[in-house]
Amino acid sequence: MIIKKMALPRRTFLRGVGATLALPLLDAMVPAASALTRTAATPPRRLGYVYIPMGMNPVPWTPAEVGPLTTLSPSLSPLMPHLEHLTVMTNLEINDAHISGNHASANSAFLTCVRPKRTEGSDYVNGTSVDQIAASQVGGETPLPSLEIGTDLIAQVGNCDNGFACAYMNSLSWSSPTSPNPTEADPRIVFERLFGRGGTPEQRQAQLHRDRSILDWVLEDMSRLQHQLGAGDRTRVSEYLDTVREVERRIQRAEESATDSPLEDLTRPTSVPEVWEDHVKLMYDLQVLALRADLTRIITFQMAREASTRTYPQIGVPEPHHPTSHHLDNPEKLAQLAKINQYHVSLFGYLVEQLKSTEDGDGSLLDHTTYLLGSGLGNPNVHDHRNLPIVIASGAGSRITGGRHVKYEALTPLANLHLTLLDEVGVHLDDFADSTGRAGLATEPLTV
């Protein structure tokens, strides 16, 4: 049998004047021979990490049931619509972080499981983070090996926490023990990094004021491509471009709002939404776009920064988060901490919903993506790195069984889970940091 049909390359871009725009996975990208036996392309596996600061109130966080879950705890209740895709884990620890026992080590050791060197200078030493181990092996297949983003713009250097350099607080991701990856919190910059702007700085500034979209630069190429696609692919491309345009519109709206604001804030980037929740959701939308277009397969997102003094009056917590987390077992502060936990979880639920509702090959984006939500602190009142709040979200393509609570009888290294999540994207290591084995979430007993 001779097969003449040619497939559209997976790394197909729409190209215009100084701009490129990657496409989502299309049926036309399936090799011709495979198309005879498959109706949709087989997407790659992706891996994401979302960090929430300052631990949790364990009582309202921890599910009462161990094993299969029929309901979730109060703090996790916003995730009930996604119960079958969730794995809640308790009794995981970062052992090496106990010695330093502070916010800096909670953040820096979350993905390295290594005790950072105490220093206020630039001679910091940590470990290579698990996301970068994944990126070193799968990142070469995408334009961006990994994406490191957050919501807090902190330019401070020197001592940020009890003799630890600010690099430990600002970066989850470390490409080597001495090389922290900077966290980008400006959605405009993230968007341009993903989709490009082109031209000289003067041209880019002029383009911003004209309120034009980069999509206008690629219309001719887009029109030419549409004639090569089937009806289903044309619909996917149109929906994808609508999503890109909507994200850019929201960024532009945030810029206009910031420009018109009467508040004097010389350090505020113009493209950051004034409402923090809008900022978080916009960064989640950018993650979905990046994964959908296969611009990257590895993402870290620092939802909020350790020792943050952000307040949440919209949920009835006008006091700053950090002082609230040092609750001294005060019932009122514990209740406020639980509200913050639930709020952060609800925003993670927004991401899970977007992944779940986005078509990707023969399933949803969630089916081909695994996300870890967690913190490097357990009990923030004493800077404890034991019994960390950990939730895994994954879909049908994952080997992790969802809809359950996995409780370890004894404290178990978080590094074990990191090994298991590396397996999810086809990266297999014998050990990582202080690991004692794999979490084995698909096969191990529910209480281990």
The arrangement of secondary structure in 46-185+298-448, i.e. its CATH architecture, is 3-Layer(aba) Sandwich (3.40)
The answer to whether the beta carbons of residues 302 and 151 sit under 8 Å apart is yes
Q: Do 356 and 69 touch, CB atoms closer than 8 A?
A: no
In the chain, domain spans: 1-42+189-271, 46-185+298-448
Residue 264 pLDDT > 50, yes or no? no
Whole-structure pTM value: 0.83
- Calculate the CA dihedral of residues 115, 393, 305, 415 and round it to 10 degrees: 0
Cβ proximity of 75 and 61 under 8 Å: yes
pLDDT band at residue 445 using 50, 70 and 90 as cut-offs: very low
Mean pLDDT, rounded, of the chain: 84
SS (H, E, C) 138-197: HHHHCCCCCEEEECCCCCCCCEEECCEEHHHHHCCCEEECCEECCCECCHHHHHHHHHCC
Q: Mean pLDDT throughout 215-244? A: 74
pLDDT of residue 236: 76
Tell me the pLDDT tens digit for each residue of 395-426.
Answer: 999 999 999 999 999 999 999 999 999 999 99
pLDDT at 284 over 80: yes
Determine the pLDDT at residue 322: 96
Predicted confidence band of residue 361 (pLDDT cuts 50, 70, 90): confident
Q: What is the pLDDT of residue 265?
A: 41
Quick check: 52 pLDDT over 90? yes
Question: Residue 443: what pLDDT?
Answer: 44
User: Per residue in 121-158, pLDDT tens?
Assistant: 889 999 999 999 999 999 988 888 999 999 997 666 66
Q: Could you count the other beta carbons within 10 Å of the beta carbon of residue 437?
A: 13
Question: Rounded mean pLDDT of 62-86?
Answer: 97
Q: How many residues does the chain have?
A: 448
Reference 95, options 380, 446, 374, 378; nearest CA is 378
Q: How far does the chain reach from its first CA to its final CA, in angstroms?
A: 53
Please tell me the predicted confidence (pLDDT) of residue 348: 98
Q: Which two tokens stand for residue 170?
A: 């600002």
Q: What is the pLDDT of residue 188?
A: 86
More confident residue, 231 or 437: 437
pLDDT value of position 183: 95
Mean pLDDT within 364-382: 96
Q: Please give the pLDDT value at position 362.
A: 86
14-33 mean pLDDT: 62
pLDDT band at 248 (very low <50, low <70, confident <90, very high): confident
